[in-house]
Structure 1
Amino acid sequence: MADERRRGFRRIDKQTDQMVRNMQQPRLIAPHLLRLDGALPTLLGSRCSACGEVYFPTARGCTRCCGTQLEAFDLGHRGRLWSWTVQDFCPKPPYDGAASEADFRPYGVGYVEMACGLKVESRLTLADPARLRIGMAMDLTLEAYRRDADGTAVHTYAFQPADDEDTPA
């Protein structure tokens, strides 16, 4: 009887642990693109060991020098808005954001230049042209993208205006 109770507690503890992990680790559309172990998410790319060229997402070969030795490279979480537009119509497949024409809301799309010089295409948390400007500091965040069949929110990365604009990218 005591063994059965301990096993039951272990099962409950495992379920609780999983629920806590699920609360701390949101479901991601592409988990290989991000690291979530710090206060802010960071983008993960790769860098050629021979010439230093940086890629996002990760690459297996270098298009600059044809090298094949690439290493993991942390792109960070801060950049500068390089260019942007507003997506004001529901994209066609293969877009899978699950928004219908009726419930679609416009969203910002932009290129954010990371500290290493690489420009990353990303959703933006703003779609208001009056609040977006080229060169503004942007921070990486997560944004709900769609819901799975079980109702769980699936997140993607996005950039939002940085609170401390003067901090370098």
Structure 2
Amino acid sequence: MSAQPIADNLFTEDMSALVGARNRETGHIFFPLPLTPDDNIEPIRLASRGTVWTYTVQRFPPKAPYAGPTDPEKFKPYAVAYVSLPGQTMVETRLTGVDVDDVKIGMEVELTAIPLDPDTPPEEQKLIHAFKPVQGE
């Protein structure tokens, strides 16, 4: 068994996009999908590229129910951002592939999947969504 997403309905089947929701009455788009089917929503594919709207740096292990690495000696700071997906919504996400000191508001980023705890054996890993800087095209 290989790594699996941390939650159902997080990614499209091919993991190339996140699954958001659109309210059928208002057209409002949000992420993640609601937990109940009574919200009058339809699942939609979200854009896989966006821009960093704002961010902060997590410099110490979060408290429970955090399921990632918690050993303060091994913990590595990471950036958490709101990424604006054009014409859709904002997604709270981890940033990867960039030093926390190099993150900039407005930087272009694209979706990827990363292990929640890279020290977990591959067959037990849970994948989370993250965004990484768009490299030169």
After TM superposition, is the score higher than 0.5? yes
Identity, % of aligned pairs? 34
Q: Does 1:156 align with 2:128?
A: yes
Distance in 2, Cα, partners of 1:31 & 1:72: 13
Choose the corresponding residue for 2:112, options 128, 141, 156.
141
Q: Secondary structure at the match of 1:99?
A: coil
Corresponding letter in the other structure for 1:101: P
Q: Residue 151 of structure 1: CA displacement? A: 5.8
Counterparts in 2 of 1:68 and 1:28: CA distance versus 1, 3 Å: closer
Q: Which protein has greater RCO, CA pairs closer than 8 Å, 6+ apart?
A: 2
Q: Residue 152 of structure 1: CA displacement? A: 2.8
Q: Secondary structure at the match of 1:33?
A: coil
Unpaired runs of 5+ in structure 2? none
Distance in 2, Cα, partners of 1:151 & 1:109: 26
The root-mean-square deviation of aligned C-alpha atoms, in Å, is 2.4
Corresponding letter in the other structure for 1:34: F
Counterparts in 2 of 1:36 and 1:160: CA distance versus 1, 3 Å: farther
Give the total of aligned pairs: 134
Q: Secondary structure at the match of 2:9?
A: helix
Residue in 1 aligned with 2:80?
Answer: 109
Q: Residue 29 of structure 1: CA displacement? A: 1.1
Distance in 2, Cα, partners of 1:152 & 1:68: 33
Residue in 2 aligned with 1:97?
Answer: 68
Choose the corresponding residue for 1:122, options 93, 104, 107.
93
Distance in 1, Cα, partners of 2:122 & 2:106: 40
TM-score between both structures, scaled by the size of structure 2: 0.84
Give 1 or 2: higher helix fraction: 1
TM-score between both structures, scaled by the size of structure 1: 0.70
Residue in 2 aligned with 1:76?
Answer: 47
Q: Does 1:56 align with 2:67?
A: no
